[in-house]
Amino acid sequence: MTKKIPAATVRRLPTYLRYLEEVGIGVGTIGSEEIAAATGGSAVQVRKDLSHLRYSGTRGVGYDIDLLARAIKKALGLDRTRRVALVGAGNLGTALAGYTGFAATGFDITAVYDKNPRRIGALISGMAVRNVEDLVADARIAPYEIGVIATPVGAAQAVADAMVEAKIGAILNFAGVTVKVPPEVVVRNVDLSTEFRILSYYLSR
Amino acid sequence: MTKKIPAATVRRLPTYLRYLEEVGIGVGTIGSEEIAAATGGSAVQVRKDLSHLRYSGTRGVGYDIDLLARAIKKALGLDRTRRVALVGAGNLGTALAGYTGFAATGFDITAVYDKNPRRIGALISGMAVRNVEDLVADARIAPYEIGVIATPVGAAQAVADAMVEAKIGAILNFAGVTVKVPPEVVVRNVDLSTEFRILSYYLSR
DNA sequence: TAGATTGTTAATCGATTAACAATC
DNA sequence: TAGATTGTTAATCGATTAACAATC
């Protein structure tokens, strides 16, 4: 177990990494000023964030892009592939299943599930949609680490329960409703209407 | 201009409101304890958050659901409809355009844009996809307040530039890359790979 | 009045920023 | 050595929590 990284830093490290991947790994060095400009933060904050990593930059020079990217990956546990189960084969699920791009490597969406018989068996990104009732049994054979909920509101809690039963440790919930899970399961919620409403507040001032 | 609400509170108010809408407006009162349980926070935090509103609860009783919902809506500027322009008519854009549900009322996705000639003219949720080059001119006739970027990485900055030129004040960016906009434009970023990577950190400890 | 529950003040905790030391 | 840039310490700021007063 490595040293704990502050939550705010954990949220920003992926953005830094994404930028490093964009400029291209193995292309020399980069300064905190450039990373900050590209990711919308301040240079001090970038340096403070990066100070939690095992790797340090070189004063007067900057950070070696390759080594920095590796250090961030290591710190975020991105040095291994994680199996992902996606539940919900509607428009959103289809969009998520088709998600590629360099930043998505390391997350292997192994199967897509749905409960609608019309969708079960259909092909999405080359995968035949499976019955959500098979999720727990499938996980016994090959465990999932991450579950993605891309169902309508009404189905979300049942899906979360199944994911917990399948011993999934982290859930990404797009369903627009808070799901209840045991405290050891990590949940992140992404909801369009919540985002709109937050923006609305800042528009109105 | 009303009193400023702390950023952390602004992020949570939509979740409270969503829950109130779920239990049903006009059904009596509700306690901070129940709101906390349903939204995954603590009761003190709920009360502290709600103390920023114009409306106060009743000691010994709780909050009137109807009045509380109204007060949150008012505070978030949800007492009016906002026009939304969605750019990117792929899987994700289609999913977002089809988003409905009570929480989405008040955000009127008026038009969907794309730059791919094959998609222009196609129907998405009853709207004919328009050429993204028309965005600025369209906005001159009827302004948009919010822009949603649902394009691939490569197109995102150009779309953001067009949105700024169209005088859009708030952007919801699903493109997985940080876009540069003037400081008065509010941007929120939603990115699948970033979410996966954050979850990865918590899985690895 | 007693019980329930909100609202506020102060303390603690965590995050950001300023200032500057370190060192390539 | 001088210039550039990182890394750290301390100060400030903002968010959360504890304790309790207020009041229905």
Question: B114: Cβ–Cβ under 8 A, 6 or more apart, which residues?
Answer: B87, B88, B89, B90, B93, B120, B129, B130, B131, B132
Q: Contact, B50 vs B60, CB < 8 A?
A: no
Question: What's the pLDDT tens digit per position in B157-195?
Answer: 999 999 999 999 999 999 999 999 999 999 999 999 999
* Among A163, A184, A71, CA closest to B202: A184
Residue whose CA lies closest to nucleotide C18 C1': A44
Q: Taking residues A8-32, report their average pLDDT.
A: 93
- The mean of the pLDDT values for chain A is 95
Q: What is the pLDDT of residue A99?
A: 83
Question: B151: Cβ–Cβ under 8 A, 6 or more apart, which residues?
Answer: B87, B88, B90, B93, B159, B175
The answer, for B4 touching chain A at a CB cutoff of 8 Å, is yes
- Asked if pLDDT for residue A6 goes beyond 90, the answer is yes
The answer, for A91 touching chain B at a CB cutoff of 8 Å, is yes
Instruction: Give the gap in angstroms from C-alpha B78 to the nearest C-alpha of chain A.
Output: 7
The answer, for A157 touching chain B at a CB cutoff of 8 Å, is no
Task: List C-alpha distances in Å: A148 to A106, A114, A183, B162.
Answer: 15, 12, 18, 33
Residue B74 has φ and ψ, to the nearest 5°, of -60, -50
Q: Which percentage of chain A shows pLDDT scores above 90? A: 92
What pairs with residue B130 in β-bridges?
B113
Question: What's the pLDDT tens digit per position in A95-116?
Answer: 999 887 656 789 999 999 999 9
| CA A194/CA B15 separation, integer angstroms | 7
Q: Which residue of B has its CA nearest to A39?
A: B178
